[in-house]
Structure formats: structure tokens, C-alpha cells
Amino acid sequence: MTEALVGAQVHTPEGIVAGRALLLADGAIRDIVADDAVPDGAHPTRLAGGTLAAGFIDLQVNGGGGVMFNDAPTAATVAAIGRAHLARGTTGFLPTFISGARADMARAIAAVRAAMDEGQAGVLGIHFEGPHINPARRGAHDARRIRPLAEGDIELLASLGAGRTLVTLAPERVAPADIAALAARGVIVAAGHSEAESGTIDVAAARGLTGVTHLFNAMGPLGHRAPGVAGAALTRDSLACGIIADGAHVHWDVLRLAWRAKPPGKLFLVSDAMSPVGAPDVDAVRIGDETARIVGGGLRLADGRLAGSLLDMGQAVRNCVVHAGIPLADALAMAAACPADFVGVGESRGRLAPGLRADLVWLDDELRVRATWVGGTRSNAAEE
């Protein structure tokens, strides 16, 4: 049976349009038609205003629902994280494993593979953030787990099979030939936790590096004589950049600057979420031998370093519009189409268009998530 979602404006690849109905059938988007052109026999579902958009895609999700992927890399953990973020508009995500031992990385791969085999909604693959990063820019990563790339690591990083694998590394610490080898195996390579010079980024990009992880964070500041990773990220149109729009990791003015600098489709939102998202009773996160606590709406270690975020993608979209003055259509694309294209799933999700998966989010007029659909099946939003 065809379902017709009516009553909300619709974010299409051409922009946000009113007076349209979204037709769903067999888990996919059948068509977008005028309200008065809904076919006979379609089952109408009336929405109370707001905006229908493609479900959010989050490529950096450390935790949620009270659990951290690093702490318990199992399919059950992946499912718990997915449920917490689905209730907040995320219909596709990469569970993110930060710098850890090889054996634990292998467990993380097995967990994601099992989750995908079980058909857990929204799991697109895995993101390894480290361990091949620069210790000088480790952020909250456990210093004991940071190490150079060694024999067997490329095979491990490329061993997921189905799904997408994103690896964040420091290009100044990994040989260009190894970056090329990862890219040749289908791994998506991003620069992060790095002090690379812009020229080093260019060399890495020529060998297969295509992205930058959490722009401006865990990298040197943009300098007028030493642009570094940030300068290269802003000026190389080929590089797609993730950014954490919570007001703590990046000032709203700088978020707007990045949006202005990057071509359409090359700046995307990430949450960098930790376990307290979707778990209001959790107020601290253990990272190695350190504890991050909620301070002023963010997670910080004892010395004040940021340690992930309390952000979800719905809040990130709202922040872009309310605090950075980014148009809603652009913010929605930054949360869906842009990350989908970056990891190579844009042909099946990330936009509202006929033939794509019916992965949707419904935002009310205050841009708060009201419901999500995964493969055409509706889930109501979390109660805030």
C-alpha cells in the first residue's frame, strides 16, 4: 500500500517546497506530488506542519543511550546507540571506535559486521578515529593507544567487508603509500588529530585522502603563515569536512565561516556524541584512565579538554539555523546528503527523491524532531 505524508513542507534536492505530498511504498520513496495529486487508494498520514527531510546521517558516533562503543564493542552496543540516535532523527550512522588496541579494533569490526548481518537499522559501517594519529593532538584519546601504522594494520582496517569504513589518521604520521593502500581497499581516509602542514595534506589527498575530521578541533589553529590542516580543509574543494555544531567545539561565527568557505556538499555535520546522549541519568564518561564530566552543557576532562559531545544531529541542524544563520535547506543537506555522498551511499539515501530509501525525519516548526522513518517504518521522537 502507498502511504501519503501530507501537511508538512518537503525538503527536496531543489529546495524546500510547500503543498507537496511524499508517497512511500515498499520501504522507498515512490514520488513527491502536489497535495491535490495524491493517487486514489493511497493511505494519507497528515502531519501538523513542519518539515519533512531525509533522515540524518552521522559519521561520528562514539556512544549514546548510556553506552560507549569503545567500552563494549558488541552488536548490542551498536543497537543501543542506534536507538538513542534514531529517536533524535539519525537514520544512518557509523559507530565510531577511538584509538584502541588491535584486538579491540577487531572486536569492533566483528560487532558492526554482526549488527549489519542482523539487519540493525541505520548501521552503515564503522569509523576508526585513530590510533594512527599525532599524540600532540590527541584530544581525549588515550595516549597509550596511539601508535604508528604497522604491518597488518591495513588488512585490519579494511576487513569489515560490507558497509563503509572511515579511518581518521594524521597524514604526517602515515606514509603516503599506506594512505594509497587504504584507499585502494575501499577505505575512506580523513585527516584528523593532526599537525600536518597544508602541503602534507596535498600529498595525502593525491594518494586518496578525501576528508577532514571535526574541522578546527584536534588540529593546529589556522595561521596566516601556517594554514595547516584547517587552512587546507577550507581551501581544497575536493576535501569534505565534518564539523561539530554545538557551540563548544566551534564558535558559531567560525561555523558560518566554514559554511561560506566550502562548496555545497563539502561540509557535513557530525555529533561526536558520547554515552549521555539519550541517557539523562549518565553524567560522566570514562576514557582510559580519565573521566569526562558534564560541565556547562558539554563533556570535559579534569584539565578542561573537550571529550566528545552531548550533541545529536537534530540539535546540530537547529544550531546551524538558529545560531549560525545557515539556511534550513543547507543545514538539512549538511546533515544528510553531504555525509551520504562522502561515504558513497548517496545513491540510496540522504535525499528525498523517487527511488531512494524511505529514511525520513519530520521536524516541527521549531525544528525539533517529531518522528523518523527507516525504510518507511515510523518511530516517534524522544521526549525531551
Residues annotated as catalytic (active site), given as ranges: 272
Helix H or strand E encompassing 244: strand 240-244
Secondary structure (3-state) at 94 = strand
The radius of gyration of the chain from alpha carbons, rounded to an integer in Å, stands at 20
Cell of 167: 579511518
**C-alpha distance from residue 4 to each of 1, 27, 272, 350 (Å):** 10, 13, 34, 19
DSSP at 222: P
Report whether 240 contacts 263 (CB < 8 A): no
Residue among 107, 100, 112 at smallest CA distance from 75: 112
The residues near 111 (Cβ < 8 Å, ≥ 6 apart) are 69, 73, 74, 75, 77, 78, 95
Query: 314, 361, 321: which is closest to 52 by C-alpha?
Result: 361
Q: Which amino acid is at 128?
A: F
